[in-house]
Structure 1
């Protein structure tokens, strides 16, 4: 078996609003969409700097549902950008909830976390230092909260 690609596929309540948010905040561009005759958006593909993000609206009839942030988060999307502070600020200005303000981390990244208006958790970061795994572990052992 060969894995050729891995795509994040998010379910949202309002795919049109999600497309607009991701295009505005992450400079995504829409590749294409499929819409049912009744108007429900069944599939959208966005390009984020050469990476594909897929979206759909809820399909409760086959148990595809949007996240329930009040119950916590089962996943985080990690987005590497040129300037985490700028992208986090843009996300918050566009309606995301700030979960963690950007800060420098022991593993050589500056990042912050937002919950987008559709309930998805995004860690947005940029590299500040190249660190080998053994050094990361040493720093983590010393202070996992740093």
Structure 2
């Protein structure tokens, strides 16, 4: 089975790692620091078993952090305690994009971390296509 590991970019990866530890309970597993300027060229952490990579901006390689509130990618993080996880993240400095609610596909909410990344915190519920079709009614056609 293939996996996809997100590789984030931040303007201040050291601060981002502190935020993720506080807000998400992240555990840092790897850090490569440039001895000349102190930038972090690569770091890794896990959140509830999910692996994430992150680095400081690297303009020479065309790698930039997202502008706040403007990102083309959202990260979906499935956790057992959506409400507790979400509240902890907001207390640590995340901004609510969409509050936690119940929906046909489970409980979840959307937030931005202070480094411009958008996260969908969601429950591990799984519905069949037939169950989803019944739940959403005519709002969407589900193939």
Same fold judged by TM-score > 0.5? yes
Q: Distance in 1 between matches of 2:87 and 2:112?
A: 12
1:52 and 2:48 aligned: no
Alignment of 1:1-146 (within 5 A): 3=2, 5-37=3-35, 38-70=37-69, 72-107=70-105, 109-127=106-124, 130-143=126-139
TM-score by length of structure 2 reads 0.89
Q: Distance in 1 between matches of 2:11 and 2:40?
A: 10
1:35-91: CA deviation from partner (whole Å, max 9, x where unpaired): 112101100010223321100000011110000134x32111111111111111111
Q: Distance in 1 between matches of 2:41 and 2:88?
A: 27
Contact in 1 for aligned 2:48/2:79 (Cα 8 Å) = no
Q: Mind listing any 5+ residue stretches in structure 1 that lack a counterpart?
A: none
Q: CA RMSD in A?
A: 1.7
Q: Mind listing any 5+ residue stretches in structure 2 that lack a counterpart?
A: none
Contact in 1 for aligned 2:9/2:63 (Cα 8 Å) = yes
Q: Distance in 1 between matches of 2:39 and 2:109?
A: 33
1:78-105: CA deviation from partner (whole Å, max 9, x where unpaired): 1111111111111111111101110001
TM-score by length of structure 1 reads 0.87
Structure 1 segments, 4+ long, off by >6 Å, are: none
Deviation at 1:125, TM superposition (A): 1.3
